[in-house]
């Protein structure tokens, strides 16, 4: 296959926020995949995943959520979780216009999985399928009474590094990455992990997309039961759940990542 063409640009959103959008295109793509990253990280951390998806013949779109990476916005802060959904819609519109005639998929990790699921409920009939990796899809009972509106701009430190992956090199790179946020606000956390999660759980029956739900069995950041709950309560007739024994939160960075990526490819191939 010819070398992929990479294009990095800024996409201006309605409120004059610029989102950093990276496109990795292949010749004659079989499908296109939109990647939605997780809390505190950025799209650049998916270089290896993108290279593999390109090898399989898929063009890829990925972007930094607002307040993350090279996108505009208050660092690690959001006033309303719906803003993430609306931003994603702008990226999807670009992909739809540029990839007309081929199947479109989304792949969401962690908080990106939450965004992906909510988008899927709000906008049916767009994608050939959605993929979830370590997705934050349910309310965490330990924080359900957390009054984040009483201290919206209080900072919560990013202490995730040792929990993301069993590969020490990945952990080291995460700690040294200047684009990885060192903190985020209570408002962002509450909007996504409390308010948004409650709404997602209340509306979960409305979700109908074909979906592949993947989770690490050793995930200490997002309980694997989050994925089990989503699988058990959505209305999708085409759905698959796989829990990888012992893998940590970032299954796409674990030593077994190639197995996970091959599983994703196998699932996509069956739906194009």
Q: Could you tell me if 182 and 158 are in contact, meaning their C-beta atoms sit under 8 angstroms apart?
A: yes
Average pLDDT over residues 64-70: 98
Considering only residues 140 and 272, tell me which one the structure prediction assigns the higher pLDDT.
Answer: 272
pTM, to two decimals: 0.96
Tokens, residue 69: 């990476």
Domains of the chain: 5-269 (3.40.50.1820)
Q: Could you tell me if 22 and 10 are in contact, meaning their C-beta atoms sit under 8 angstroms apart?
A: no
Considering only residues 41 and 151, tell me which one the structure prediction assigns the higher pLDDT.
Answer: 41
Q: What is the pLDDT of residue 14?
A: 86
Rounded-to-integer distance, Cα 203 and Cα 63, Å: 26
Rounded-to-integer distance, Cα 181 and Cα 68, Å: 7
3-state secondary structure 17-64: CEEEEEEEECCCCCEEEEEECCCCCCHHHHHHHHHHHHHCCEEEEEEC
Least reliable range by pLDDT among 143-147, 162-166, 177-181, 223-227: 143-147
Residue 245 per-residue DSSP state: T
Residue 162 pLDDT class (50, 70, 90 cuts): very high
Q: Could you tell me if 104 and 155 are in contact, meaning their C-beta atoms sit under 8 angstroms apart?
A: no
| % residues pLDDT > 90 (the chain) | 91
Say if residue 140's pLDDT is above 90.
no
- Mean pLDDT in the chain? 95
Q: What is the pLDDT of residue 246?
A: 98
Q: Could you tell me if 159 and 169 are in contact, meaning their C-beta atoms sit under 8 angstroms apart?
A: no
Helix/strand/coil for 7: strand
Smallest Cα–Cα separation from 111: which of 200, 211, 203, 40?
A: 40
Rounded-to-integer distance, Cα 22 and Cα 47, Å: 11
pLDDT digits (tens, 9 = 90+) for 10-30: 999 989 999 999 999 999 999
> Can you say whether residue 269 is alpha, beta or left, with left for phi > 0 and alpha for psi between -120 and 50 degrees?
alpha
Q: What is the pLDDT of residue 2?
A: 54
Least reliable range by pLDDT among 116-120, 123-127, 143-147, 182-186: 143-147
Q: What is the pLDDT of residue 151?
A: 72
Residue 269 pLDDT class (50, 70, 90 cuts): very high
Q: Could you tell me if 130 and 104 are in contact, meaning their C-beta atoms sit under 8 angstroms apart?
A: no
């Amino acid at each position: 296959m010819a070398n992929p063409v990479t294009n990095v640009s800024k996409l201006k959103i309605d409120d004059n926020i610029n989102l950093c959008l990276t496109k990795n295109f292949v010749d004659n793509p079989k499908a296109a995949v939109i990647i939605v990253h997780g809390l505190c990280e950025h799209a650049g951390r998916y270089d290896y995943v993108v290279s593999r998806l390109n090898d399989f013949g898929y063009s890829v779109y990925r972007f930094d959520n607002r307040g993350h990476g090279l996108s505009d916005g208050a660092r690690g802060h959001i006033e309303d979780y719906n803003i993430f959904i609306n931003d994603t819609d702008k990226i999807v519109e670009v992909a739809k216009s540029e990839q007309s005639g081929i199947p479109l998929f989304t792949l969401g990790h962690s908080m990106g999985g939450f965004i992906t699921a909510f988008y899927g409920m709000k906008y049916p009939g767009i994608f050939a399928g959605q993929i979830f990796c370590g997705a934050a899809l349910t309310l965490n009972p330990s924080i359900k009474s957390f009054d984040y509106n009483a201290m919206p701009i209080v900072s919560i430190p990013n202490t995730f590094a040792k929990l993301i992956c069993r590969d020490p090199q990945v952990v080291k790179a995460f700690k040294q990455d200047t684009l990885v946020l060192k903190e985020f606000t209570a408002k962002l956390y509450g909007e996504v992990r409390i308010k948004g999660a409650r709404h997602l759980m209340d509306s979960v029956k409305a979700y109908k997309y074909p979906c592949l739900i993947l989770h690490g069995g050793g995930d200490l950041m997002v309980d694997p039961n989050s994925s089990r709950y989503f699988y058990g309560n959505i209305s999708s007739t085409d759905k698959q759940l796989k829990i990888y024994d012992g893998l940590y939160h970032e299954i796409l960075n674990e030593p077994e990542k190639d197995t996970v990526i091959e599983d994703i490819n196998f699932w996509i191939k069956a739906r194009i």
